[in-house]
Every structure is written in C-alpha cells, then in structure tokens.
Amino acid sequence: MKPPHLPLVFLFVLAIVFAAGAPHAFYCYQETANSSTSCGGLSNGTYATTGTWNNATNTSDADYSTFGNDSGSGADLYVNYSKPAGSTSSSLWQVKDGGALANLSILSSCWAYSSTLIMLHANSSAGAPSATWHCYDGSWQSLRSASSANIYEEALYWDIASSGQVGANITSTGTPVTLPRGAATTVSIYGGNATNLNLQINSTTLHWQGFYGNITGALRLAAGTSTLKTWNVSSVSGQVYISTSPNINFAALASTSVNLSNVDSAFSFLSGSDDSAQNTGVENSNSAINISYYPLSINTRPVIYSRDSTLAANWQQIVLAQSLSYDKNSLVFTGIIRPAQLVFNGQAGDFQIVVPASGINGSTAETYYFYGELR
C-alpha cells in the first residue's frame, strides 16, 4: 500500500542529546501512597474508606502490628498509587491480613487500565469472616482471600526498569517555518465573456506539528544518576519517543494494542477531518523493533510515514500506547532513527516525526516530552 501524503507544518529543527543505559531493574519500596520515596515513589496517591470500620487508620499507618476490621456490615479500603517513571507490570502489592504477609502480582489488565495509576481495594467482612484484595481493570478483580477480617497494612514494591530509554535533552532549536504564502494568480477579463477557471489551492494543515534534526549521545552503565562507565556512540540507531506524558511506562508499549482511530479520539480536533490520523497513517505496518528488551512484532501497530526531499516516504514513525485508556497521555509517537539521511528539505538528519497539535484559533499549546533509546 502506498503511504498517504502528509504536508508538514510548523517544522522545528532539533539537536537532541541522550545517553542510553544498559538494562537493569530494581524494586522501589513505597509504604504510603501519598508520600514520595527517594527511589521514585510519588506522593499524589490517595486513600479512601467506606463502610463500618474498627480502627480504619491502622490499615495505612505503616505499622504492621496493628490492624483494622469490619465492625458489622462490611468495610472497604480504596488505595490509588501513582506510577513512577519506568515502573513495570512486574511491580508487587505487599499486603498483610490475618492470614499472612504476601506479595501479590498485579494483573496485566489492571496495570494497563490507566497510564498513571494503579487502583487497589481491600474488603473486610466480619460475617464470614474474610479479607479480600482486588485490583481494578474496569471492574474489581480478586487477587487474594483470607479467612480473617483483619487488615493490617499494604505497600507497593515498584519494579523500576532503567531499560535504555532516557529523557532527551534538546540542545538547540531552529526557527519554526511553515508553508510559504504563494503569489496570487491574475487573469485579465473583459465584459461579455464567461471563462472556465480551475484552481489548485494548497493550504497548511492546522492539525500536525513536524520535528526533524540530529542526535548525539552515549552508552552508559549506570544506576539512577550514578554512572560507572560511558562509551561514545559513533553511529546512532534506535528510537525517539514523543508523548504528552511526562512518565512513560516503556514496558507496556510492546504489549498494548492501539489503532489510528484511538489517536483521532484522543486528539478530538483530528476526528472527521481530511487530515485525521486515519487518513494520515497506515494500520499494522510497522517494522519489528525492540523497546529495550521488549520485542515489538512486525505489522502489529499503525505507522505514519513522512517524505524526504526526493518525495520518498522513507521516514517511519510507529504509534504506540502505554495503557488502554487511549487518552493523549497514553499515546507515544515513536520515530525510527536513520543516521545522516535526507529529511524533507534536503538537509541531513537522524530523525523526522510528526505529532498532533491544533493550530486553530483559540487552541492551547500542546506540551510534548522527548525520550530516546540508542542501540
């Protein structure tokens, strides 16, 4: 299938610097959902209790020797944790009830339900008695049941993968340019005539933003901000990731399906337009790539192609998603790095990519975050 044509509008030239680390993972312990931790846990989680409790505060006081329980008609504890950057679905929910202390695996459906939150629930019932633990994927899914109504405590062990993707440092930007205003065509006329006149009008899209530029970087062996060893990169290859999300769960990108209609819905100004995402890209046309150590199979994700200066559609970007919410923050536009190749204007560049952005009068500016992975 011939890739569809896409005019580029408001183009910025960027020089991007990022360092790629060797894959590693560590567990970050977060005892309290609304208190940050030095290893990455965030402070904007929430707690809520409903029903009839004895000592409800004991269930979230960081004291594993005290407990709360149902006083007669059922008691519920709801906890929302905010996902730290780089956290993966291998994270564990540690709970303690009357039965034991246990580390619960989180269902992949619950992890994928939101790009920013894990929603958890515990129920204490005096009648049975029982304590049950759940995660949310649109409905509550059972993870554990114990034959005691006592709920002592819970916490999160975040599995944080520092898997090669890093935030990109934009070192320079060019002046934004757009389609130039063409000279008006004139015609000389005399009264008494009727003239057939066909017009060709090329207008600028108001729905897409283009980026292109060069990349420099390094490979490093590191943990967090501490670096053991770095290596220079002579020829860059890999991916550039662009998203409105400040925290991408890279581990979910290869396992979360997405299509172009999801892009149109997330960016509502695209829906029904001639330059909608569905009219811009091609479904299930991607090359096989690795997102860190997570393989993405060929022809499983949408692709948007853009042209180089020879009019060949040689620049490929893959549309990915990090959760099934399919809001703007769940979408990640992934450009394939092609070192020192022609971009649309004849210059040599390492990447070229387009992202949705509304230029309609009164629209607010979109903020995008740049990430990268070198190989």
pLDDT tens-digit map of 289-330? 998 778 899 999 999 999 999 999 999 999 999 888 899 999
**Among 280, 342, 347, CA closest to 315:** 342
Mean predicted lDDT score pLDDT of the chain: 84
Report how far apart, in Å, the C-alpha atoms of 83 and of each of 29, 89, 250 are. Answer: 12, 10, 12
Q: Kind and range of the H or E element at 261?
A: helix 260-266
| Rounded-to-integer distance, Cα 143 and Cα 133, Å | 5
pLDDT of residue 117: 94
pLDDT of residue 190: 81
DSSP-assigned letter for residue 110: H
Residue 3 CB-half CA count within 13 A = 22
Per-residue pLDDT of the chain (375 residues; tens, 9 = 90+): 434 333 333 444 555 554 444 333 457 889 999 999 877 789 999 999 999 999 999 999 989 899 999 999 999 999 999 998 878 888 999 999 987 888 899 999 999 999 999 999 999 999 889 999 999 999 999 999 999 999 999 999 988 764 455 555 655 556 555 555 567 778 887 888 888 888 877 777 888 989 999 888 777 776 656 778 888 877 788 899 999 988 888 878 888 899 999 999 999 999 999 999 999 999 999 999 998 778 899 999 999 999 999 999 999 999 999 888 899 999 999 999 999 999 999 999 999 999 998 877 667 788 898 888 887
**Among 137, 139, 85, CA closest to 114:** 137
Q: Kind and range of the H or E element at 366?
A: none
Residue for token digits 């204490």?
A: 124
End-to-end CA distance of the chain: 30
Q: pTM above the 0.75 mark?
A: no
Report how far apart, in Å, the C-alpha atoms of 125 and of each of 56, 115, 253, 375 are. Answer: 13, 31, 38, 53
Tell me the three state secondary structure of residue 108.
helix
pLDDT of residue 338: 94
DSSP-assigned letter for residue 192: T
127: phi > 0 → left, psi -120 to 50 → alpha, else beta; which? alpha
Tell how far CA 5 is from the center of its chain. 26
Give long-range contacts, CB 8 A cutoff, 24+ apart: 262-266. Answer: 262/321, 262/326, 262/331, 263/302, 263/319, 263/331, 263/356, 265/326, 266/326, 266/327, 266/328, 266/330, 266/331
